[in-house]
Chain A
């Protein structure tokens, strides 16, 4: 019994991002393609940031999840172009980020509002944060600092 491509997408949607476990790898937009080539399942993955240390863990997590579902032959392909963009974050992913306390990326280059209290009075602390994909901001209303998912 060979799993359908749709089934595989569902499985991958249950694999959490290792750094931000509230969103899945599919939410993150880094799974670019799933296809069968004969009896081999090919999964195409694109890196978020070229030096992101989570990349190798992500590949390992994908492989482990698929093996747990009985897939035996797996080929992970890396795709660099088109380069990953935060436009590929799913709406579900964006909502979950905000619930988790991380402001989702905005084309304007800064968070729309504080993920804690919803105030729009926010200021940037640093262009970089705890992982390559985040920056540090602070709410000047509730005074809480928060992560902002960088828009690239």
Chain B
């Protein structure tokens, strides 16, 4: 019984990791061909590519753990909204370039911290995926951090946009540090840390950068929740899935 529960929790945990990178990867890819300058367009596409690659590793393992014969592609393209486990921040529309990079920075910082712990996971496969992904994510953070500082401490216009982006996204940060029985099971099994315990490390990356960007962190710790436990996604996720899953829904089993 304990084994069954742990397997269920592990599947849930892996979907949370994989759905985060899948949904953000898809959102970031929406910029392809639309970014303000060519270099940024390429950077965004490359970031999206890394995220989708990480998704494959997480969801492939999730599907194996589940043991129902589903593949990573089945999980990505054939689940409906209520089965997705990404945090709400990642499914929000991109907004402007500044908001996209602010979201990237906040998520990159969380990922860097989370993956840093997962490298020491008791689950070898989780540890290997984390080791691989953390190299890519460190690179992402380097760029998103630099861009947030550059735009925040930039012109009056760019500063105002970055401040607005921070105010829009800040209430979504708390969900990344929520914890529930799945996290308790993962902690007990030594697979993953309790997300709530990661906040101080996250703040140590994010707060100095926001200060350097001359941005003001909004007051209050209200957090929108409902993504990582699938309780209540925003209306936006359904629209993403419409685009992302359209081909497999219209032509079931179609192959590249």
Contacts and interface: CB of A to CB of B under 8 A. Distances in A.
A50 B139 contact: no
Interface string B123-137: 000011101110110
Interface in B136-177: 136, 139, 142-143
A50 B56 contact: yes
A52 to B, nearest CB: 7
Interface stretch (B41-49, B95-103, B200-208, B209-217): B41-49
* Residue among A53, A85, A127 having the largest count of chain B Cβ atoms under 10 Å: A127
Contact of A49 (B42, B53, B142): B53
A80 interface: yes
B76 interface: no
A144 B68 CA distance: 54
A50 B133 contact: yes
The size bracket of the interface on B is 20 to 34
A81 B143 contact: no
Given A126-B43, A136-B39, A51 B128 contact: no
A50 B128 contact: no
Contacts of B45: 128
A60 interface: no
* Residue among A130, A132, A136, A152 having the largest count of chain B Cβ atoms under 10 Å: A132
A50 B136 contact: yes
* Residue among B39, B47, B51 having the largest count of chain A Cβ atoms under 10 Å: B39
A80 B131 contact: yes
Interface string A81-94: 11101000000000
Q: Interface of chain A, helix or strand or loop or mixed?
A: loop
Interface string A122-136: 000111111010001
A105 to B, nearest CB: 13
Nearest to A134: B46
Given A129-B42, A132-B46, A80 B57 contact: yes
Nearest to A52: B53
A134 to B, nearest CB: 9
Given A81-B128, A81-B131, A152-B135, A51 B56 contact: yes
B132 A80 contact: yes
Interface in A51-68: 51-53
Contact of A80 (B39, B46, B128): B128
Nearest to B57: A50
Contact of A150 (B47, B128, B139): B139
B129 A49 contact: no
Interface in A114-152: 125-130, 132, 136, 150, 152
A49 B138 CA distance: 13
Contacts of A150: 139
B53 A51 contact: yes
A51 B51 contact: yes
A130 B52 CA distance: 17
Contacts of B52: 51
A127 B56 CA distance: 24
B39 A126 contact: yes
10 contacts: A50-B50, A50-B132, A51-B56, A80-B129, A80-B131, A80-B132, A81-B128, A83-B135, A129-B46, A132-B49
Given A51-B52, A127-B43, 16 more contacts: A47-B53, A51-B50, A52-B53, A81-B127, A81-B128, A81-B131, A81-B132, A83-B131, A126-B39, A128-B42, A128-B43, A128-B46, A129-B42, A129-B46, A150-B139, A152-B136
